[in-house]
């Protein structure tokens, strides 16, 4: 069959149904440039081992360059008879270099070792893009934290009023998981840094080709030590999909805060018009769609990971065609993140915080109760008793329909003799925040330190 990679042992060509099922060019075409880079390195290895003359090598490299340019310009595209990108590009090479020379390139390699190498190259490049986008988002969060350094936010647990915190502290709590995602990408890159090229179909190659030279040309610092593992494992792909899913989940948690804060009831922030959407029927609406899409797309990213792991589960060694199913999910995860991260960063960078509204809400819900209990401990009261006394104080304030600072001296004394008027010294939100000055605490001095640490960490990963 013209342009096919196999066929001689078959009495008929493939059925149209098989062709339709088997074809992968509509999604693996994005590996074309990597495939050609692999072919250049492989051609040099063939020449070094004596299978191509110097003239044949330069004719081959010249044809590969022309093919590369034609792929880039769209002059060369997949035909409906091409099974996959590898077959299509061999057809393109033979069209340009002739069957004598073009037909020599396939010696000593298989689509199995090719694809396992090319996917790593593609993921490596996108890890770099996603890394840069994550850094932009972290920078946007850090800039907002810095800009509103004095703002105080009602901190919550169980979504109920808990203790006041710095807005900056809360914002940075969304940045740290993203810093760890950067770290995860860097760590992933170490495991992805081995080339399976030269593993052949599964068992290796008889031709004595220099796989280390191929690896180095393709930007890998090592060759995979086991040809079966090199061609048939996809944990490197699954791990990438995991990091993508984790990023999605980290974004979705931040998104949920933004969605809540953006409601009239919270009123903590307004999203800028360029990063908000309207309604087709309700003219007054301004919706936080970027945050909602982040929350929604995290499900899709998780689905891609789950689907991929399910494909791998129980697969026998070595290569099986099931492995072709690794690409669409991870490509989708890449596309999803690369369109989501810049939108999310823009939304964060341009959001307008309502710091007076936050400050006003910060003491609501008796959020300074722990400060009273801690004050009692400093007066020598055992914490168990301090907790009881403060609980009774909250009840008294609730009954008097006031907050903790609103009780009179005699009302305080009525709750407990230990509650002298001096307790009022801890009943300010600024005092409460400033007093939590342990490492990692919300005191401004610590948060300032934390911001420096975060910025330094991002630069070093």
Binding site residues, ligand ARG, CB under 6 A: 24, 28, 84, 111-112, 115, 319, 321, 323-324
Q: Provide, rounded to whole angstroms, the least separation between the CB of residue 232 and ligand ARG.
A: 10
Q: Provide, rounded to whole angstroms, the least separation between the CB of residue 119 and ligand ARG.
A: 8
Which residue, 202 or 355, is less far from ligand ARG as judged by CB?
202
For residue 363, the tally of other CB atoms under 10 A from its CB is 20
For residue 432, the tally of other CB atoms under 10 A from its CB is 24
Q: Provide, rounded to whole angstroms, the least separation between the CB of residue 219 and ligand ARG.
A: 21
Which residue, 114 or 246, is less far from ligand ARG as judged by CB?
114
Q: Provide, rounded to whole angstroms, the least separation between the CB of residue 319 and ligand ARG.
A: 6
Which residue, 34 or 344, is less far from ligand ARG as judged by CB?
34
Which residue, 84 or 90, is less far from ligand ARG as judged by CB?
84
Q: Provide, rounded to whole angstroms, the least separation between the CB of residue 22 and ligand ARG.
A: 9
Q: Provide, rounded to whole angstroms, the least separation between the CB of residue 443 and ligand ARG.
A: 54
Catalytic residues: 158, 279
Residue length, the chain? Answer: 461
Q: What value, to the nearest 5°, has the Cα angle with vertex 214 and ends 71 and 237?
A: 70
Which residue, 115 or 291, is less far from ligand ARG as judged by CB?
115
Q: Provide, rounded to whole angstroms, the least separation between the CB of residue 320 and ligand ARG.
A: 9
Which residue, 230 or 363, is less far from ligand ARG as judged by CB?
230
Which residue, 292 or 325, is less far from ligand ARG as judged by CB?
325
Helical packing angle, 85-102 and 111-147, nearest 10°: 130
């Amino acid at each position: 069959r013209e342009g096919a990679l196999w066929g001689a042992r078959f009495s008929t060509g493939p059925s149209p149904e098989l062709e339709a099922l088997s074809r992968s060019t509509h999604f693996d075409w994005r590996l074309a440039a990597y495939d050609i880079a692999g072919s250049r390195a492989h051609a040099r290895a063939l020449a070094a081992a004596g299978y191509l003359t110097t003239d044949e090598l330069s004719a081959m490299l010249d044809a590969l360059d022309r093919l590369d340019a034609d792929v880039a310009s769209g002059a060369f595209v997949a035909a409906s008879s091409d099974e996959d990108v590898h077959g299509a590009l061999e057809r393109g090479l033979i069209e340009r270099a002739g069957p004598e020379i073009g037909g020599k390139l396939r010696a000593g390699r298989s689509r199995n070792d090719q694809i396992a190498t090319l996917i790593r190259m593609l993921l490596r490049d996108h890890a770099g893009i996603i890394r840069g986008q994550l850094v932009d988002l972290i920078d946007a969060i850090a800039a907002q934290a810095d800009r509103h350094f004095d703002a105080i936010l009602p901190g919550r647990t169980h979504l109920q009023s808990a203790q006041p915190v710095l807005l900056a502290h809360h914002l940075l709590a969304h940045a740290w998981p993203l810093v760890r995602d950067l770290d995860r990408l860097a760590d992933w890159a170490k495991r992805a840094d081995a080339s399976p090229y030269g593993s052949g179909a599964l068992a290796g190659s008889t031709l004595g080709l220099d796989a280390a030279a191929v690896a180095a040309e393709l930007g890998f610092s090592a060759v995979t030590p086991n040809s079966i593992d090199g061609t048939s494992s996809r944990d490197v792909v699954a791990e990438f999909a995991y990091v993508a899913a984790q990023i999605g989940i980290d974004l979705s948690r931040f998104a949920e805060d933004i969605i809540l804060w953006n409601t009239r009831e919270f009123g903590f922030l307004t999203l800028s018009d360029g990063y908000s959407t309207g309604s087709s029927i309700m003219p007054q609406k301004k919706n936080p769609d970027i945050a909602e899409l982040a929350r929604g797309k995290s499900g899709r990213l998780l689905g891609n990971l789950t689907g991929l792991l399910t494909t791998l589960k129980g697969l026998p060694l070595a290569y099986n065609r099931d492995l072709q199913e690794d690409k669409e999910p991870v490509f989708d995860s890449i596309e999803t993140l690369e369109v989501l991260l810049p939108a999310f960063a823009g939304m964060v960078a341009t959001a307008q915080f309502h710091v007076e509204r936050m400050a006003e809400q910060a003491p609501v819900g008796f959020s300074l109760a722990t400060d009273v209990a801690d004050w009692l401990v400093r007066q020598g009261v055992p914490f168990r008793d301090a907790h009881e006394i403060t609980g009774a104080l909250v009840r008294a304030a609730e009954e008097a329909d006031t907050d903790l600072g609103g009780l009179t001296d005699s009302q305080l004394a009525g709750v407990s003799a230990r509650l002298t008027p001096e307790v009022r010294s801890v009943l300010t939100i600024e005092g409460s925040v400033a007093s939590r000055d342990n490492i990692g605490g919300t005191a401004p001095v610590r948060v300032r330190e934390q911001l420096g640490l975060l910025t330094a960490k991002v630069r070093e990963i």
